[in-house]
Structure 1
Amino acid sequence: MNRELDATAVPAAAVPAAAGPDDAVRRTSTVTIALLMGVYVIDYIDRVMIGVALPFLGGDLGIDKTQQGLVVSAFAIAYMVFQVPGGLLADRFGARPLLVVSLVAWSVFTAATGFVGGLVALLAVRALFGVAQALFPGASFKALAERTTPQTRNRSAGLMLASNFLGAGIAPLLVAPIIVAIGWRHAFWVVALGGVVVGLLMWLCLPRPLPREVTELDGAGPDRATAAAAAQAGPGQVLRSGIVWRYAALFACFNMLNYGMITWVPSYLYEARGLSLVAAGLSSAVPLLITAVSAVVGGWLMSRWFDDRARLLVVPVLAVSAVLLVLMLMAESVTAFTVYQSLAMAFSGLATMGILGMPIRALPREMIGSGMGLVNTGGQLAGVLAPLVMGWLAEEFDFGAAFAFLVASTVAAALLALFTSSRPADLRLGAPTAEVAP
C-alpha cells in the first residue's frame, strides 16, 4: 500500500473549485516540475563537482587517474545497483518520502567527501553517496506520472531531464571558483548545505497526486484494464519485460557520452590543453548548458511528432552526434574542441526523450517507479564503465583514445535504437496479449 496520500480514488470534484479543475491540474504539474527540476540541478551539481575537483583531490590524496576513475565508478556502481530497489520503494511508499530522504542523505555524504583522508575512505563515501542518490530517480518519475497529464508528460519529462544537463553545466561554473577560493574540501561542504535547503522545500511544497482519471488517457497511456492488471500483478512484473530491458541496454550505450564528458573533459582541458581550472570549468560547462536546451527541444519534438516512432528521431541524431565526436577528436584548438563537443552533445540531447519518453508515457502508475528504475539501471551502467574505461585509456594511451571510446558507444546506441521498438502497446504490462496491437 502506497504510504503517500493516494489520490487515485479521489473524484474530480475533490479538486479545489475556486481555481477550477484545469487550473488546479496545471498548478499541480507546474509546481511538481519546478521542484523536480530544482532537485535535479542540485543532484547534478553534487554529482559532477567530483570531476571538477579531481585534479586537486588527486594531488592531495596521492591517487592516479585510474584510481580517480575508480572513485567516480564507486558512486556509479552503487547508484546503478540500487536503482530498481529505489523504484520499488517509491512504488511501495510513495514519491514524497523517497525524494526527501534521498536528497538529505546524499547531501550528508557530499559533506562527508570533504572530510576524507585517503582512497579507501573516499571510495566508501562516494559509494554511500551513490546509494542515497539512487533512491531519487524512480521517485521522481513516479511523482511525474502522478502529477501530470499524458498530453504534457513528455514535455514535462524533457524539462525535468534537461535540468540534469543544466546542473552539470552550472557545476563547473559554480564549483571551480569555490575550489580556487577556499579549497576542494570546503566546496563540498557549501554545496551540501544547498541540498538540505532544497530537500526542505520538497517536503513542504510537493502537491498531492492528481486523480487517476486526470493522469490516464485511453489510447495514449495504459488503459484502465491494463492498469488494473498491473496493480494486481505488482511492480515486480516489470523485471520480466523484454522491451524494458532493451530500453535499459539502449540507455546504457547512450549515457556513456554524458558520463564520459562530465567526468573527464575538465581534467583534459586542465592537464592536456593547459587551461586554468576556472577556464576549463567554463569550457566544459558550455556544451552541457547547450544540451539542457536540446533536451527540452527533444521532449517537445517527441510530444509533437515522434511519440509512437521514437527511433525516427533517435537514430539520425545519434549518427550525427558520432560524426561530430570524430571531428572533436581531430580539433587542434580548444575553441574547435568545445564547438564540436557542444554540437555533438546537443544532437545527443535531442535523443534523450526519444530513449526515455516511451516508458515514461506508457508504464502504469503502479509500475512507473520500478520500471524507470530498471531503465535507469542500464543508464547508470555507463556511469560505472565510462569513467573507469576512459581513465584507463587516458593513463595507458592518451585522452584521444579515451574520447574515441565515446564515438564507439554512441554508434552502438544508434544501432541498438534502430532495432528497438518504440510502440507504447509493447510496454502495456499486465494487459492480455490479445489487447496488444500487432
Structure 2
Amino acid sequence: MTDTATAARAATASRARVLIAVLLFGTVVINYLDRSNLSIALPAITEELELSTAQQGLLLSAFGWTYAAMQIPGGWLVDRIRPRVLYPLCLVLWSLATLFMGVVGGFVALIVLRLLVGACEAPAYPINSRVATVWFPERERATAIGFYTSGQFIGLALLTPVLSWLQAAVSWHWVFILTGLVGIVWGVVWYLGYREPRESRANAAEVELIRSGGGLVDLVDEQPRRARITRGDLATVLGRRKLWGIYLGQFCLTSTLWFFLTWFPTYLVDYRGMDYIKSGFLASLPFVAALVGVLASGLVSDFLLRRGASLGLARKAPIIIGLLLSTLMVGASFTDSTALVIVFLSVAFFGNGLASITWSLVSALAPERLLGLTGGMFNFIGNLSSIATPIVIGFLVTEDSFTPAFVYMTAVTVAGILSYVLLVGRVERVAER
C-alpha cells in the first residue's frame, strides 16, 4: 500500500527539485574555479614575484586558514539565514575578492585577498547540504549530491585549459578577473531562482514525495530560536564517535583534492617540464576522471539503497573503495613516463570522486536542528587539509623530487579508510543530548 501511494505521488509530482540541483551545480562550478584559479596562475606569479617554494605554499594555503576558521560561524549562519539570501551574498563577496586578485600584484595583497575568498566561501558547502536535505528524499539525495559535486570537476576539467590559455595569451591577472565576474553574475541568478519547497513552483505531490521520503521540507519553519551556539550544541556535534568518523575521514579525503587544487599544475610545469598550454590540458584529465567518479558514486549509492542495501553500506562502500583507489597516486613516484604519471593520478582522482558523497553522511547523521552546525564542523575539520596540504608539500618536496609529497598523500588516505571503517559504524541520525 505504501509503495502504491509512493508510486502515485511520483507520477503526479512536479520536478522543481531538478532546477535546485542545477542551481547547486552551477554554484559548485564557480566555487571550485575560485579555489583553483590560483594554482593555474601560480607558476606565472612565482616567476613575476620570484617566490620560493615556502612562499608558494603559504600563498596556496591562505584560502584554507579563513575557510576552516569560518566553518563554525558559517554553519551558525546557515541555521539562521535562508539560503536564498545567504548564498548570493557570499557568492558576490568572494567573487569581488577574486576579481581584485587580478587587479593587485603584490605578494601580501594576494594573501589578504585569498584570505577573504576563504572566509566568504566558508558557508557554501553547509548551505549545499542544507538545501539537499530540504529538497531531496533520501532515495535521491546521494544522486543529487553526486550531481552537484560533479560541478567542481566539470568546471575544472573543461575550464582549466581555457584559463591556462587565457593566462598564456594575456596575463595571469585575467584568470582572476574573469572568474570573479562570472561569480557575481551567478549570485544574481541564485537569488532570482531559489525558493524553499513550499514557496516554490513544486506542486503538493512533489512536496509530499520529498517529505515522505525523508526530506525536511519544513525546516525553514523550524529554525532554532536561540541566538547563539550553546554548550549543549557543541557537545552534540563534538561528542559523538560517528561524527568524528566523518570529520576525520573528510580531512583525509580532501587532502587529495587540495593537492590537485594547489600543487598539481606546478608539479607538471616545474617537475615534468611542461609549458602552460600542455600542462593545462594534461592537468584537466584527472578532473575528467574525478567527474566520472563523482557521477558514478551517487548513482551506485542510491542504486544499492533501492536494491535493499542498508543505508550504511550504500553510503560508505563508494567512499571506502574510492579512498583505496586514491592510494595509487604513489605510483607516480616510480615512473619517468609523463603518460603513466597522468594515468596513476587520474585513477587516484577517480577514486577521490567516487568517495566524494561524504556529505550524504552529514545529511544522514546530523541532528535535524543542527544540520548547519554539524556541516560546519565537518567542513572545518575536513578543510584543515586546505591549510596542511599546501604547506606540508611545500616543505617536503625538494628541487629534484616530488616523491615525499606522494608518500604523505598516500599515508593520509589510508588513515581516512580506517576512520570510515572503525569510527562511523551504523549510519543513523544522531540524537541531541
Smaller-chain TM-score range? 0.7 to 0.9
Where does structure 1 lack aligned partners over 5 or more consecutive residues? 1-19, 433-438
Name the counterpart of 2:4: none
Name the counterpart of 1:429: 431
Name the counterpart of 2:269: 270
Q: How does 1:129-278 map to 2 (within 5 A)?
A: 129-210=117-198, 214-217=209-212, 237=233, 238-242=236-240, 243-278=242-277
Name the counterpart of 1:337: 341
Where does structure 2 lack aligned partners over 5 or more consecutive residues? 1-7, 199-203
Alpha-carbon shift at residue 331 of structure 1 (Å): 2.2
Query: Is the 8 Å Cα contact of residues 138 and 215 (structure 2) preserved in structure 1?
Result: yes
Name the counterpart of 1:418: 421
- Classify the secondary structure of the residue corresponding to 1:352: coil
Deviations 1:68-102 (CA, angstroms, capped at 9, x unpaired): 11112111110011112112101101111111011
Name the counterpart of 2:409: 406
Q: How does 1:359-374 map to 2 (within 5 A)?
A: 359-363=362-366, 365-374=368-377
Alpha-carbon shift at residue 308 of structure 1 (Å): 1.9
Name the counterpart of 2:280: 281
CA distance in 2, matches of 1:22, 1:94: 27
Deviations 1:88-121 (CA, angstroms, capped at 9, x unpaired): 1011011111110111011100011112332221
Name the counterpart of 2:32: 44
Q: Decide which of 306, 314, 323 is 2:319's aligned counterpart.
A: 314
- Classify the secondary structure of the residue corresponding to 2:369: coil
Name the counterpart of 1:390: 393
- Rate the CA distance shift 1:77–1:406 in 2: closer, same or farther, 3 A: same
Could you tell me the TM-score, scaled by structure 2's length? 0.86
Deviations 1:200-236 (CA, angstroms, capped at 9, x unpaired): 1101011333487554447x679x9x99999689976
- Rate the CA distance shift 1:375–1:25 in 2: closer, same or farther, 3 A: farther
Query: Is the 8 Å Cα contact of residues 87 and 137 (structure 1) preserved in structure 2?
Result: no
Query: Is the 8 Å Cα contact of residues 230 and 367 (structure 1) preserved in structure 2?
Result: no
CA distance in 1, matches of 2:98, 2:253: 27
Worse overlay, 99-108 or 294-303: 294-303
- Read off the aligned partner of 1:317 and give its amino acid letter: G
Query: Is the 8 Å Cα contact of residues 24 and 128 (structure 2) preserved in structure 1?
Result: yes
- Rate the CA distance shift 1:339–1:147 in 2: closer, same or farther, 3 A: same
- Read off the aligned partner of 1:139 and give its amino acid letter: I
CA distance in 1, matches of 2:238, 2:222: 15
- Rate the CA distance shift 1:227–1:96 in 2: closer, same or farther, 3 A: closer
CA distance in 1, matches of 2:184, 2:292: 27
CA distance in 2, matches of 1:172, 1:422: 38
Query: Is the 8 Å Cα contact of residues 154 and 361 (structure 1) preserved in structure 2?
Result: no
Aligned residues: 407
- Read off the aligned partner of 2:280 and give its amino acid letter: G
CA distance in 2, matches of 1:79, 1:21: 41
Deviations 1:267-296 (CA, angstroms, capped at 9, x unpaired): 111111111111111111111121112112
Query: Is the 8 Å Cα contact of residues 270 and 276 (structure 1) preserved in structure 2?
Result: yes
- Rate the CA distance shift 1:129–1:24 in 2: closer, same or farther, 3 A: farther
CA distance in 1, matches of 2:84, 2:134: 11
Alpha-carbon shift at residue 315 of structure 1 (Å): 2.9
Query: Is the 8 Å Cα contact of residues 321 and 355 (structure 2) preserved in structure 1?
Result: no
- Read off the aligned partner of 1:255 and give its amino acid letter: T
Query: Is the 8 Å Cα contact of residues 28 and 147 (structure 1) preserved in structure 2?
Result: no
- Classify the secondary structure of the residue corresponding to 2:335: coil
Q: How does 1:37-116 map to 2 (within 5 A)?
A: 37-116=25-104
CA distance in 1, matches of 2:152, 2:138: 22
Query: Is the 8 Å Cα contact of residues 136 and 215 (structure 2) preserved in structure 1?
Result: no
CA distance in 2, matches of 1:345, 1:97: 34
- Classify the secondary structure of the residue corresponding to 2:104: coil
Alpha-carbon shift at residue 179 of structure 1 (Å): 0.5
- Rate the CA distance shift 1:346–1:122 in 2: closer, same or farther, 3 A: same
Identical amino acids, percent of aligned pairs: 26
CA distance in 1, matches of 2:165, 2:251: 32
Alpha-carbon shift at residue 334 of structure 1 (Å): 0.9
Could you tell me the TM-score, scaled by structure 1's length? 0.85
Query: Is the 8 Å Cα contact of residues 256 and 383 (structure 1) preserved in structure 2?
Result: yes
Q: How does 1:284-295 map to 2 (within 5 A)?
A: 284-295=283-294
- Rate the CA distance shift 1:381–1:405 in 2: closer, same or farther, 3 A: same
Query: Is the 8 Å Cα contact of residues 168 and 288 (structure 1) preserved in structure 2?
Result: yes
Deviations 1:284-311 (CA, angstroms, capped at 9, x unpaired): 1111121112112111222222632244
- Read off the aligned partner of 2:296 and give its amino acid letter: V
- Rate the CA distance shift 1:333–1:39 in 2: closer, same or farther, 3 A: same
- Rate the CA distance shift 1:196–1:317 in 2: closer, same or farther, 3 A: closer
Worse overlay, 34-43 or 308-317: 308-317
Name the counterpart of 2:3: none
- Classify the secondary structure of the residue corresponding to 1:93: coil
RMSD: 2.8
- Rate the CA distance shift 1:135–1:269 in 2: closer, same or farther, 3 A: same
Query: Is the 8 Å Cα contact of residues 44 and 168 (structure 1) preserved in structure 2?
Result: yes
